[in-house]
Amino acid sequence: MSTPQAKAGRPRNPALDRAILSAAGRQLGELGYARMSLESVAAAAGTTTPSLRRRYRNKAELVAAVVDSLRVEEPPADAATPRAHALAILTNFHDNLRAIPAMAILGSLLAEEERHPELLQLFKTRLVEPRRALLRQALAGAGLPGSADLDALGSMLIGSFYGRYVTLAGIPDDWPERVLSTVWPPGV
């Protein structure tokens, strides 16, 4: 059995990889997909366009990598109670929204939905749906009536962050607890 040959050349620099994704995320949020360019991302990351192109063939592939990198911190896998788990998932979501320009990036992807639907689909499948699935699992432990629509409840909880974001006050620090308490009061 033969072993695969190592690629020729220098190994990739992880710090440069992070710089490229960070610059691309900032530009996607600030300029939008249409105005973002590989050349401007390379310059902002402190590299050359050929170096960036060795990593990403085109802008869509770069944006896909940005979407994959958006999850700053993974949601917790366990908690003392099902409610604590649901609260931890919402708190993690809140923290991630603050740590990265996620809302601006989502806005860019929504603006490009007609021309590049695959980018919004990627955002949905890699970020949105996994979090909603975790939240539905946590809500299943709430002791809600069997007729409770866990999908609708999850959408209401997650959607409240988007709705609150566009208000003048923005999303307050205590929002995860406040919104969860509307459907799952503490001690219940």
Q: For residue range 141-165, list pLDDT tens digits in order.
A: 888 888 889 999 999 999 999 999 9
**Could you report the per-residue pLDDT of 125-145, keeping only the tens digit for each?**
888 888 889 899 889 988 888
Contact between 46 and 19 (Cβ < 8 Å) = yes
Q: What is the DSSP letter of 147?
A: T
Domain(s) of CATH 1.10.10.60: residues in the chain: 14-59
- Distance CA(138)–CA(135), nearest Å, equals 5
What pLDDT shows up at residue 168? 84
Residue 9 has a pLDDT of 60
pLDDT at 7 over 60: no
Q: Which of 122, 110, 112 is nearest to 162 (CA)?
A: 110
* Whether pLDDT at 183 is above 80: yes
Q: What span, in angstroms and rounded, lies between the C-alpha atoms of 103 and 120?
A: 13
Q: Token pair 């069997």 is at which residue?
A: 146
Q: Under CATH, what is the fold of the domain 14-59?
A: Arc Repressor Mutant, subunit A (1.10.10)
Reported as a single tens digit per residue, the pLDDT across 33-88 is 999 999 999 999 999 999 999 999 999 999 989 988 876 566 667 778 889 989 99
pLDDT of residue 182: 93
Determine the Cα–Cα distance for residues 182 and 24; give it in Å rounded to an integer.
Answer: 37
Apex 9 CA angle, 7 and 10, nearest 5: 110
Task: Report the C-alpha gap between 84 and 101 in whole angstroms.
Answer: 27
- pLDDT value for 61: 92
Q: How confident is the model at residue 1 (pLDDT cuts 50, 70, 90)?
A: very low
Whole-angstrom distance, CA of residue 61 vs CA of residue 66: 9
Mean per-residue pLDDT for 114-120? 91
What is the arithmetic mean of pLDDT over 80-106?
Answer: 86
pLDDT at 144: 82
Predicted TM-score (pTM) above 0.75: yes
Please list, residue by residue across 9-48, b when 16 or more beta carbons sit within 10 angstroms of its beta carbon and e when fewer do: eeeeeeeeeebbbbbbbbbbbeebbeebebeebbeebebe
- Check residue 4 and give its pLDDT: 42
Distance (Å, whole) CA 27 – CA 35: 8
**Sign of the CA dihedral with 123 first, then 165, 133, and 69 last:** positive
Q: How many angstroms separate the CA atoms of 160 and 128, rounded?
A: 14
Predicted pLDDT at 58? 93
Residue type, 163: G
